[in-house]
Structure 1
Amino acid sequence: MAKRLGERLVEAGLVTTEAVEKALDHQKITGHKLGDCLVDLGLLQEAALLRFLAAEFQTRFVTADKLAKAKLPSDVLDKLPVRMAEAQNVLPLAYDSDRKLLSIVAAEPQNKSLLDEIALVTGVSEVYAYIGLRSAIAAAIRKHYYGDPTAFATLESGGIQAPRADASAQPNSDTSGSGRGSAPSLQLRIETDPRLRTHRSGTQARLPTQMREALSGSRSGVAESDFIETINILVGLLEQERPHHRGHSAQLARQATIVGRRMGMAPRELASLAMAAYLHDLGKPAERHYTLASNAANADWKSEAKRLARAPTRLFEAVHLPVAVNTILAQLYEAYDGSGTPQGTKGEEISLGARILSTVDSFLDLTKNPSNAHGKALSKAQALDHLRKNAGALYDPVVADIVGQVQSGELLRHRIVQDGRQVLIAESDEATRTDMLESVLRLGLVVHAFSTLEGALDALAQQDCDVLVLSLRFGIADVTALLQYARTSPESSGLPILVLGEPDNSSRDRLLMAGASAVTAPSDTDKAAAMVKQLYEDRILHNGPARVVRGSYDELPLTELLKTLAAGRKSGRLHLRHHSLEGYLHLEHGKVVYASYAGQTGESAMQALLQMKQADFQYDPDSLLLELPHLDKDLDQVVKELGVRRSATA
């Protein structure tokens, strides 16, 4: 006898038995399908459900967000009468007149009789059905057939885009086993940080308020990520008039955060680093770009840099930037050996964020700006040689080394190969943390680590990991509180979490009941790493999402980028942008199937994109192609043709 959907979802680790029971109760009231009820109640993410169903039905899925943003031509909508669309809960997406193939999104793509009926009514030869949620398809019908601009706003208020957490789990108030009484601080963080709060009904214990001031997850109601994106746009507009600095701050923010992540900075620290990168040049003369490299080469520049060092923080005094941002900006021109300005701070007395930002900023200025203090733009090799020669003097040697790794493109290749997925380790003991990092890296996974439990909490809030490793050194009460938070949040309810420690049997049971996927001793890091690899592979098997990977040709040249995608037979969308020029290639299993650029599509668009000498790129492995494919070209062949063309013009 075939298992019901609820049983299959529980077996896949996407929901709990209690969540299914709640959804079944809701189903009795609404009459909706079980999957829709789970999403409506915030017990399961829409994308997770659709990924699971799409894998079962061997098709692809379309989320509410994509249906809301889709541009559907009127002639495509006209293929299917609106009354039939409403009655059968289907929406036409695209029509290929040459093949007489109609693509639709349906709640039951496996319903062959329905597809046959649609083919008969529309006069097409074939119907290809994607899967979507009934409520999302209904909203899309209202928007695209009736022009209702509020269709998806109504849907969002119903829960798909703003899921509520399962209110069933009650935290364990027992703090025995912690040994240090630290649970309240973490639980308070969960309760008070706006990015972590969900619409629970008493799932967290009432907590003290001593951490409230440290937990500003938003400023004046604006989410941190939105604030960063806002200053990105505004600074980008200001840089448009500076030919050698267009997009400089955005590139600085991206590369600095890559280095920061590699050095174990937590997500909130990385956010401060990104803010400082966007703001670092504001209030300073447009004709000069001050860096550690330029200041060291010219005493006059260094003197001016000292006078202007606090210009950005003065401009933003009324904004109440995080303390870490102000510190980074104030120390941007401090040299590692103390020869910098304005205070002559040295070594690790300089904040890590400032050490990272100053190193990356110098590298970018040396390679991009012909008006730098050296009087010419250097090659990448020359700029890296400058960093190596000045490591320990101007630059932190460790930071300089990691900048070199970033510029080699190896980190980007690694992320693309793993579809942006990553393992995060929270471990306070440096020796264990380092051993775990090395053991997991040897297994070919992308892995980052940090020394605080708050870093893990930030990662959960930003949905920034695919396997989380938590050390029991943080205390069983704090680890248990974090596990309970993760399991009562739809975004992380299915996240594999490995606990490193050797608790007694009672504490082990407590951790497993709170939601730990497994508990293992930290003494054998190779064994622990193997468990991480297994959890990682299980998550992919159960349709855990991939992540967007961002970079630039400076870090990974086009030929190397395409070779990496071809070798992995990758699918998804590769978006390319250089200033106002942008377009994308859509990939299916290592083939280019669609290209779009400046209003063009097809072969001409692909060739135009391949001729871009410089570009920032964004690879989204989970992107769905709503248009019908019009190309079928192996990436391997594209790489060969590109190599021949460049050899001919060299």
Structure 2
Amino acid sequence: MANDVLIVSPDPAEIKILKSLFSTRDLKITDCSNDQEALKLIKDNPFSLVMISPLGEGVHGLSLKKNIQHLRPETEVILLTNFKTIRTSDDVLHYGASDYILHLEDLRRLLIHSTMKKGLETPEDPEEMRIKDFFFNLTDLLVGILEIDDKYFSGNTHTVMKLSRQIAERMGLNRKMIDSITLGSLLRDLGKIGVKQQILNETRELTEDELMSIKDHCQTSLKLLKRLNLPWRVDQVIQHHHESYDGSGYPSGLKGREIPLGARILSVVDSYVAMTTDRPYRKAMNGDSAVEEIQQKAGTIYDPEVVEIFLSVIQEDWKRNADSKERLLVVDDEKYIQTLIKLHMVNEGFEVMTAENGAEAIMLIKQKRPSLIVSDVEMPLMDGYTLCRALSQDPAFSDIPFIFLSSHKDPDDRIQGLRLGAMDYITKPFDLEELSLKINTLLKREKKIRRDPDKESGIKGRLEDMPLQDIAQILNLGLKTAKVEIHPDTEENHGEVFFSRGEVTAAYTDGLDGEKAFNRMLHWNAGNFKIRHGIQSKVMNIAKTTMGLLMDGVKLIDEENRDRDMQTTEERLPSGGSSAR
């Protein structure tokens, strides 16, 4: 029972989203579309958690919840509601700007369950920790949904939570305090639901009343959380995270160690994340400038001890993410696919843009160049193949790594995508962790090549030992993606041949390209070569298969050799010898 979850929703797309969000957990997920199915399943199965999303006919959230609680009092029931039906209310905590609302009482029971139920007062126990971590992760996901479409705050809460927890752990705080800081960082800004979006997005200087409405968000958060009776002291963390070390902050003007330690930690991290992300009224600082400002204000705004620990944590974070924030473009006409990938990759530190078709994607690419593109194949207005082809033919964007994410599983579709220059072709349904790993691997490889292409490792050799014919056959047999560089001894020339999964896609020499260039290089029998795996051309100028290309090339060389031999023979014959034959 501990790992059984039931999702009740008439919307198949929403079921996919919720199931995918839980896919990395050790859980057994069941779903159904209406009250009748849900109650039958509840009678036959002791689920530990039921999530109800009444977005259409056949699901009546409150009545279904009461029936489930009557049948299975021990089962936790979480009610999700479409955000379009309720904008703000004293009875709910909203977690999705257009998606979900989690009822306040449900959240209380959910969190209490994670630490108090069945004697979970000892979080060191692995099973108890697993349950608690699950609900912390659930809160993180729901807050992520709240921020998902906000271009200024998307992913901020997860980053604040991660850094705050790392500082708390580095300071050697006890587990309960670390949990309080972790949850407090996730729930710190719930009170902003009481602030008009127009004020939050305002570019002009705010009036005194507008500033006060923003400052009141700490108290609004506490009002929303008051009834929860949480097992952690998150109220102190949330209420005082805008206090200043010298007493000049708000809401209480506390100073020094009067400010709870969790709030002092959150103050530093929240400020850093705010400084390094865009706001409507200013551009983001770079990390160095933000750290310098925090150091300058240590002892006045920030606790010097916390700043010192923060500096060590953020330096390590920079080492792990040595380059600037990567920008990912997800192109898919299915909203839930966009949402899934965006939620996951934002939490990994990516900036994520989304488009519903190729035409919209090209407009975004021209405004903000992405580091990598993940695209569906079938889409309205412009499909993925057309998008990939258009980018490969544009010198400004031809080097952007491209991954196809498609429901087409036919090998011919995969080959077509790879021939167009895509780095990979992933079929749906897909695993988020696998997609994330491939994205990160491709970007690391691209960074390495960009940093020092001349020192990029590769297999080196001599054409006398391994001519192009042999190289091509080996790469074809192994279905390798690679770039072969050739520098012949006999000419002041060089050539490049590109392979994608074993097939030659492009060839270039000085003054020639395509098959003519490839055939020219087949003549080079002496010189140096280097094979660089994982590199492919964004432009395709050869359509033949590798084996077909080699057969035609060898045939051409044989014909040239035959003609040359005949010419040599004729030159050696005495005059008139030709007619004598």
TM-score band w.r.t. shorter chain: 0.3 to 0.5
Could you tell me the TM-score, scaled by structure 1's length? 0.33
Which has the higher Rg, Structure 1 or Structure 2? 2
Q: Which has the higher contact order (CA 8 A, sep 6+)?
A: 1
